[in-house]
């Protein structure tokens, strides 16, 4: 092979070589990290909640009539609402709960094992009635759910009383890594309130910071004049046609409230909107960088061919065939691209370290970098092929007359 002569030729064209190496290195560093972010984001987009999202409606009933400031009236209203919503044709299950699937909001609490100095585990917490698990389509895999009696007295229970809770598998495994969490105690961070785990749900995912897979559910009513009442409704079919009927039914129970309804799919799509925009933007950045790099290689290789026509003609006159000329330019391009790839790998990991340390994201995998390097080698050879073929078509007699 012609590595020696090609390398010496590259040393005589340092500016051109440095430009291509810099282009390839920067492109690989940025594209590899963009690809890593895209793959990580798509994995999050594809992550299931564990709920029956396609059949859920979230309802917010916010009172404005001062008559509804009485907590007893609000509690009675909750029971009327639940009965009324269940009576609507097409409704499969109803729950009164403060849980907010896919809404980037909720309540965070810290829990630990009683009597320990372990770092408290941060978890989402929500009030729920016994029907929540059927409404979400979220089965209890160990233990049990809440009884009606626990729900009825939950909101009035003193802090000194141990309350039953249902937790997600992720929280149970964090607190009790060896298993057997059902029936075991937990407490809040300052141990002013204690709980007993009565049930575990297997898969829970409601994105909310680092607590996305952790939840602690308590049996209690969460209605208030300031925040209203929140319901989740699970339908038998498409939820959208039922929404006007549900709103009408609730206003029929009490007109002194604002009623807001939204499907969980709408909430999920809105939650993912920024991530989808990020994926689209990163795809556009990658495409633009690759295009600019390919055009740069085409331009610089074309300039090299035009500049060296006399040299090409001399080689043709001495017996070099067209394939030898094409091979020479492709090998030259491969060597330059390889220098850029090596530098780009170092830049890619350096950039990824900065992103992971100061922003967020997943660590760059070797497979992602290898895929980026292979793509740039292929693009580089493809971009250089056209100019190389033009150089191979130069006739010896014409080339030797060019100055």
Q: List pLDDT tens digits, range 17-27.
A: 788 888 889 99
Model pLDDT, residue 2: 61
Long-range CB pairs of 285-292 (<8 Å, 24+ gap) are 285/30, 285/34, 286/30, 286/31, 286/34, 286/35, 289/26, 289/27, 289/30, 289/31, 290/27, 290/31, 290/375, 290/379, 292/23, 292/27
Q: What is the pLDDT of residue 90?
A: 94
Taking the C-alpha atoms of residue 146 and residue 148, their distance in angstroms, rounded to an integer, is 7
Q: Find how far residue 256's CA is from the centre of its chain.
A: 40
Kindly tell me if the per-residue pLDDT of 10 is higher than 60. no
Domain boundaries, the chain: 3-46+271-401, 98-221
User: According to the model, what pLDDT value does residue 313 have?
Assistant: 59
- Residue 107 backbone zone (phi > 0: left; psi -120 to 50: alpha; other: beta): beta
Lowest mean pLDDT among 28-32, 179-183, 194-198, 221-225: 221-225
Give CA angle at 106 (105, 110), nearest 5°: 125
- Residue 351's nearest CA partner among 41, 39, 42, 35 is 35
Provide the token pair at 181. 């969490």
Task: Judge whether residue 359 has pLDDT over 80.
Answer: no
Q: Running DSSP on this structure, what letter comes out for residue 67?
A: G
Q: What is the pLDDT of residue 17?
A: 76
Q: How many helices (H) and strands (E) does the chain have?
A: 12, 11
Q: What pLDDT sits at residue 318?
A: 56
Q: Average pLDDT, whole number, for the chain?
A: 84
pLDDT tens per residue across span 144-195: 999 988 888 866 655 557 899 999 999 999 999 988 999 999 998 888 889 9
Q: What is the pLDDT of residue 153?
A: 80
Per-residue pLDDT for 116 more than 60? Answer: yes
* 316 token code pair: 């043709």
What single DSSP character describes residue 371?
Answer: H
Q: Is the dihedral of CA 300, 15, 5, 331 positive or negative?
A: negative
Convert the pLDDT of each residue in 47-76 to its tens digit.
Answer: 888 899 999 999 999 999 988 888 888 889
Q: Are 80 and 269 in contact (CB under 8 A)?
A: no
Whole-number pLDDT of residue 403: 47
Angle at 275 between CA 274 and CA 276, to 5 degrees: 90
Whether residue 361 has pLDDT greater than 50: yes
């Amino acid at each position: 092979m012609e590595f020696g002569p090609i390398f010496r030729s590259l040393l005589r064209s340092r500016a051109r070589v440095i430009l291509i190496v810099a282009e390839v290195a920067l492109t690989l560093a940025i594209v590899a990290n963009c690809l890593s972010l895209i793959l990580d984001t798509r994995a999050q987009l594809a992550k299931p909640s564990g709920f029956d999202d396609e059949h859920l409606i979230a309802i917010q009933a916010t009172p404005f009539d001062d008559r509804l400031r009485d907590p007893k009236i609000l509690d009675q209203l909750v029971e009327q609402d639940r009965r009324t919503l269940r009576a609507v044709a097409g409704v499969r299950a109803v729950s009164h709960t403060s849980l907010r699937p896919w809404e980037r909001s909720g309540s965070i609490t810290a829990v630990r094992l009683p009597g320990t100095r372990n770092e408290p585990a941060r978890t989402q917490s929500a009030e729920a009635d016994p029907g929540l698990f059927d409404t979400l389509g979220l089965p209890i895999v160990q233990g049990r759910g809440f009884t009606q009696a626990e729900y009825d007295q939950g909101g009035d229970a003193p802090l000194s009383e141990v309350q039953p809770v249902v937790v997600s598998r992720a929280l149970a495994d964090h607190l009790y890594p060896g298993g057997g969490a059902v029936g075991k105690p937990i407490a809040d961070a300052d141990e002013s309130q204690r709980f007993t785990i009565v049930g575990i749900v297997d898969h829970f995912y409601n994105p909310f910071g680092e607590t996305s897979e952790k939840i602690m559910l308590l049996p209690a009513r969460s209605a208030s004049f300031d925040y209203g009442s929140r319901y989740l409704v699970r339908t038998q079919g498409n939820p959208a046609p039922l929404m006007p009927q549900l709103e009408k039914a609730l206003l029929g129970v009490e007109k002194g409230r604002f009623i807001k309804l939204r499907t969980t799919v709408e909430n999920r799509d809105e939650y993912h909107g920024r991530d989808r925009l990020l994926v689209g933007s990163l795809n556009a950045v990658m495409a633009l960088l690759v295009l600019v790099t390919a055009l740069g290689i085409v331009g610089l290789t074309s300039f090299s061919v035009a500049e060296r026509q006399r040299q090409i003609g001399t080689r043709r006159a001495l017996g070099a065939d067209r394939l030898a000329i094409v091979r020479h330019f492709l090998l030259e391009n491969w060597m330059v691209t390889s220098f850029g790839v090596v530098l780009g790998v170092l830049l890619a990991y350096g950039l990824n370290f900065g992103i992971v340390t100061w922003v967020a994201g997943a660590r760059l995998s070797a497979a992602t970098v290898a895929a980026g390097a292979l793509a740039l080698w292929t693009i580089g050879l493809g971009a250089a092929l056209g100019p190389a073929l033009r150089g191979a078509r130069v006739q010896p007699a014409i080339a030797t007359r060019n100055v």
